[in-house]
Amino acid sequence: MNKLIALLLAVLVFVGIVYADDITVTDENVVAEQTTTPEVSFSYIFPDNQDKNFAAGSVAEVLVGFTNKADKALNITHIYASLNHPQDSSVYIQNYTRGDFGIAVEKGHHATLAYRFVPSEYLEPRQFGLLISLEYQDGAQNYTLTFFNSTINITEKESSFDMDSFFLLILGFAVMGGVGYFVYSKMPKQKKVRRTVSKSSSVAKVETEADTADWLSGTSADKSKKSIKKNK
Amino acid sequence: MNTKTLVSVFLILFVSFVYSQKAELLFQKKIVEGPVVGKHLPIQFIIYNVGSDPAYDVSFIDNDFISADFDIISGQTEGKWETLAPGSQVQTNLTVEPKKSGIYSLTSTVLNYRKSQHDSEFTVSSAASYSGMYVESQADYEKRTSLLVKEIIVFVLLCVAAVGLPYSIVSNYKKTYENSIKKN
């Protein structure tokens, strides 16, 4: 009988551990560490970035669940985020705009808060640390709690214009042009029929400036005048 | 420790474990396109269960778009589901047409659900966003996104005038004169 009970306890503990691992989103440990903090619980989700991959230059949204378990109303004032070095969170790479909420959550109530930020499009695609904090107050004291402190991946923004495909297209055109030129050069050349049109001699003779420019005699320009006459 | 004590401890732990499993819902009001006066605006209401237990009797009502400033084209501003499994999501769509430009706050969505089958009390959740929704006027939208056809036509006409006038003078001169002498 004792063995059976021990087995049941072991199964219970195992199931508890498994379930505790599953609930990675809800993070009540953070609250437990703050002894003076009013009893609240947080949860969060990145609806469009659940795999923690964020495209540089795109809007990222986080939904924060705030449950007021205290015996009085709490006022959520701000949510803010920052992008930090993945190994050293004291190195700030980007600070995102602080969202002013000013929302009162009654005791026993729950609120979902949406916070948006845009990682810079100039960020290199690699790992960064992301810190998201929430500030709230109970009328007497302000509290700040960082509910998300983890490493995320910044990825390249998906674009319809891709340099690789652009150069591939140019290469394709070049190959086509080369093939076209090769085929054209191998084709038998047609004899070109030249039509010689005899110029009519009935062109009205117009006295040019050179013919009438006597004042040019004795100058270097006079030679050209003479050569023109010789040609005639 | 005798058998009875162990069994009672086990029962207490089991019951507390079962009761500690709760559902937790997060609400998202997703507006992808920029709202413009006179244009259809699709809105998605999405509810995520991030807890470890199914949520029961889930319902929401949104009053942000029930006003004279919006026409409801299709969809509903409220939804109801019997259960929502953990790690899953449900959504409803709404299409509205803004009638007035300006900034609208998106704060009046209320979500009700029971955290577990044993809970008789409903959890009340409100959805909030710090940034309001800016509805752009038609004129601003046109100015921002139009192909600028009028401006391009005026630019082409000015270019034609600036190039065409000197060209017509030169061509006329060439027709009339040859080597600076007027043709007969």
- Mapped to the 3 state alphabet, what secondary structure does B113-152 carry? EECCCCCCCCEEEEEEECCCEEEECHHHHHHHHCCCHHHH
Residue with tokens 């039509």: A195
Q: Is residue A35 part of a domain?
A: yes
* pLDDT at residue A186, as a whole number: 86
CB atoms near residue B110 (< 10 Å): 15
Q: Is residue A147 part of a domain?
A: yes
Q: Is residue A228 part of a domain?
A: no
Instruction: Give residue ranges of B with CB < 8 Å to any A CB.
Output: 3, 6-7, 10, 13-14, 17, 21, 24-30, 46, 48, 50-52, 107, 111, 123-131, 178-181, 184
The HSE-up count of residue A191 (CA atoms within 13 Å, CB side) is 3
Q: CA nearest A48 in B: which residue? A: B30
How far B3 CA sits from the closest chain A CA (Å)? 7
Q: Is residue A96 part of a domain?
A: yes
When CB atoms are compared, the residue of A16, A79, A110 closest to B124 is A110
pLDDT band at B56 (very low <50, low <70, confident <90, very high): very high
* pLDDT at residue B71, as a whole number: 92
Q: With contact defined as beta carbons under 8 Å apart, do A46 and A52 qualify?
A: yes
When CB atoms are compared, the residue of A25, A67, A103 closest to B128 is A103
Take residue A222 and report the two structure tokens written for it.
Answer: 């006079």
The span from the CA of A51 to the CA of B51, in Å, is 18
What sections of A23-78 are H helices per DSSP?
29-33
Q: With contact defined as beta carbons under 8 Å apart, do B104 and B64 qualify?
A: yes
* pLDDT at residue A177, as a whole number: 95
* pLDDT at residue A75, as a whole number: 92
* pLDDT at residue B47, as a whole number: 93
* pLDDT at residue A12, as a whole number: 59
Reference A29, options A134, A138, A125, A147; nearest CA is A147
Reply yes or no on whether the pLDDT at B37 is more than 90.
yes
Q: With contact defined as beta carbons under 8 Å apart, do A57 and A121 qualify?
A: yes
Residue A44 belongs to domain with CATH number: 2.60.40.10
The span from the CA of B5 to the CA of A60, in Å, is 52
**Predicted structure pTM score:** 0.64
pLDDT by residue for chain A (232 residues), tens only, comes to 566 666 666 665 655 554 443 333 444 434 333 334 678 888 999 998 889 999 999 999 999 999 898 888 999 999 999 999 999 989 999 999 998 888 888 888 889 999 999 999 899 999 999 999 999 998 888 999 899 999 999 998 877 677 788 899 999 999 999 999 999 988 887 655 555 555 554 555 555 555 666 777 777 766 555 555 555 4
**What's the ipTM?**
0.70
**Structurally, how many domains does chain A consist of?**
1
Reference A113, options B144, B126, B146; nearest CA is B126
The span from the CA of A53 to the CA of A55, in Å, is 7
When CB atoms are compared, the residue of A2, A64, A209 closest to B3 is A2
The span from the CA of A147 to the CA of A134, in Å, is 7
Q: CA nearest B131 in A: which residue? A: A99
The span from the CA of A74 to the CA of A67, in Å, is 10
Reference B122, options B113, B130, B131; nearest CA is B113
Over range B63-76, report the average pLDDT.
Answer: 89
Lowest mean pLDDT among A185-194, B19-28, B43-52, B147-156: A185-194
Exposed/middle/buried for residue B70 (C-beta within 10 Å: 0-12, 13-18, 19+): buried
CB atoms near residue B82 (< 10 Å): 10
β pairing state of A60-68 and A110-117: antiparallel
Reply yes or no on whether the pLDDT at B89 is more than 70.
yes
Domain with A65, as residue range(s), is 26-155
Q: Is residue A121 part of a domain?
A: yes
* pLDDT at residue B82, as a whole number: 92
Reply yes or no on whether the pLDDT at B148 is more than 90.
no
β pairing state of A74-84 and A92-95: antiparallel
Q: Is residue A71 part of a domain?
A: yes
* pLDDT at residue A109, as a whole number: 87
H or E segment and range at residue B162: helix B149-176
Lowest mean pLDDT among A62-66, A174-178, B6-10, B12-16: B12-16
Q: Is residue A209 part of a domain?
A: no
Dihedral in degrees, nearest 10, Cα atoms A208, A211, A212, A218: 130
Does A110 contact B50 at a Cβ distance shorter than 8 Å? no
CATH of B3-136, one of 2.60.40.10, 1.10.3720.10, 1.10.10.10, 2.40.50.140: 2.60.40.10
Q: Is residue A70 part of a domain?
A: yes
Reference A55, options A119, A116, A149; nearest CA is A119
